[in-house]
Amino acid sequence: MDLIVQGVIKAFQLIISFDPEVMGITWLSLKISGTATFISLFFGVSVGTAVALNNFPGKRLVISIINTGMGLPPVVVGLFVTIMIWRSGPLGFLEILYTPYAMIIAQAIIATPIVMGISLASIQNLPPNLRLQILSLGASRMQMIWVLIKESRLPLLAAVMAGFGGVISEVGASIMVGGNIKGYSRVLTTATVMETGKGNFDIAIALGIILLILAFLVNLLLTQIQQRQHPR
Amino acid sequence: MNNIFTIENLIVRRGGVKVLDINELKVHESRILALIGPNGAGKSTLLLTMAGLLKPDQGKMHYKGRPVESSAERSRMRRSVCVVFQEPLLLSTSVYKNVALGLKFRGMSKNDIQKNVGDALSYFGISSLANRSAKTLSGGESKRVSLARAFALKPHLILLDEAFNSLDPPTRESLIDDLRHILEETKITAVLALHDREETLRLAQDVTVMSEGRLIQTGATAQIFNQPQSEFVANFVGTETILEGTVQNIRSGLMEVLVSGKVIEAAGAAPLGQKVFCCIRPENIVVSREAPENTSARNIYEARIQKIVRQAFFYKLVLDCGFPVVAYLTVSSCEDLGFCEGAAVFASFKATAVHVMRREK
Mutation for testing the B interface, residue in A132, A136, A145 having most B CBs under 10 Å: A136
CB B31 within 8 A of CB B191: no
> Looking at chain A, which residue has its C-alpha nearest residue B131?
A231
Question: Per the CB < 8 Å rule, is A127 touching B133?
Answer: no
Averaged pLDDT for residues A98-114: 95
Question: Per the CB < 8 Å rule, is B149 touching A137?
Answer: yes
Residue A36 above 60 pLDDT? yes
CATH code of the domain in which A153 resides: 1.10.3720.10
From residue A217, alpha-carbon distances to A27, A64, A223, B140 in Å are 14, 33, 10, 41
Which residue in the set B51, B91, B106 is minimally distant from A151, CB to CB?
A: B91
- Provide the pLDDT for residue A123: 94
Residue A221 above 60 pLDDT? yes
Could you list the beta-strand ranges (E) of chain B. 3-14, 17-28, 32-36, 58-63, 66-67, 81-84, 157-161, 189-194, 206-211, 214-220, 241-251, 254-259, 262-267, 275-280, 286-288, 299-310, 314-320, 324-330, 344-349, 354-358
Nearest-neighbour CA in chain B from A65: distance (Å): 27
Q: Does A137 touch chain B (CB under 8 A)?
A: yes
Instruction: Kindly indicate the confidence band of residue B223, based on its pLDDT and cuts at 50, 70 and 90.
Output: confident
ipTM of the complex model: 0.81
- Over residues B112-171, the pLDDT tens digits come to 999 999 999 999 999 999 999 999 999 999 999 999 999 999 999 999 999 898 889 889
How many pairs of residues across A and B have Cβ atoms under 8 Å apart? 55
Question: Per the CB < 8 Å rule, is B85 touching A132?
Answer: yes
- Over residues B287-316, the pLDDT tens digits come to 999 999 898 999 999 999 998 988 878 898
Residue A169 above 50 pLDDT? yes
Q: Does A55 touch chain B (CB under 8 A)?
A: no
- Over residues B63-100, the pLDDT tens digits come to 998 999 888 888 888 889 999 999 999 999 999 999 99
- Provide the pLDDT for residue A228: 66
For chain B, what is the mean pLDDT? 91
Q: The CATH number of B3-237 is which of 2.40.50.140, 2.60.120.10, 3.40.50.300, 3.90.79.10? A: 3.40.50.300
Residue A1 above 80 pLDDT? no
Residue B334 above 50 pLDDT? yes
- Residues of chain A contacting residue B129, judged by C-beta atoms under 8 Å apart: none
Question: How many domains is chain A built from?
Answer: 1
Query: Got the DSSP string for B283-314?
Result: GG-EEESS---S-S--EEEEEEEEEEEE-SSE
The sign of the dihedral angle between the CA atoms of B198, B203, B206, B207 is: negative
Q: Give which of A93, A106, A113, A92 is closest to A179, Cα–Cα.
A: A106
Q: Which CATH class is domain B241-358?
A: mainly beta
From residue B45, alpha-carbon distances to A55, A197, B20, B58 in Å are 20, 68, 7, 14
- Provide the pLDDT for residue A220: 86
- Provide the pLDDT for residue A230: 52
Question: Per the CB < 8 Å rule, is A140 touching B105?
Answer: yes
- Provide the pLDDT for residue B190: 96
Question: Per the CB < 8 Å rule, is B78 touching A136?
Answer: yes
Residue B360 above 70 pLDDT? no
Could you tell me where in chain B the CATH 3.40.50.300 domains are found? Answer: 3-237
Q: Does A225 touch chain B (CB under 8 A)?
A: no
- Provide the pLDDT for residue A231: 47
Nearby residues of A55 by Cβ (< 8 Å), 6 or more positions away: none
Do β-strands B32-36 and B206-211 pair in parallel, antiparallel, or remain unpaired? parallel
Using CA atoms, how far apart are residues A36 and A170, in angstroms rounded to an integer? 12
Q: Give which of A92, A37, A31, A75 is closest to A174, Cα–Cα.
A: A75
Residue A232 above 60 pLDDT? no
Averaged pLDDT for residues B353-360: 83
Question: Per the CB < 8 Å rule, is B105 touching A143?
Answer: yes
Instruction: Kindly indicate the confidence band of residue A223, based on its pLDDT and cuts at 50, 70 and 90.
Output: confident
Could you tell me where in chain B the CATH 2.40.50.100 domains are found? Answer: 241-358
- Residues of chain B contacting residue A129, judged by C-beta atoms under 8 Å apart: 85-87, 89
Q: Does A60 touch chain B (CB under 8 A)?
A: no
Q: Which range marks the domain in which residue A204 is found? A: 2-229
Using CA atoms, how far apart are residues A74 and A119, in angstroms rounded to an integer? 21
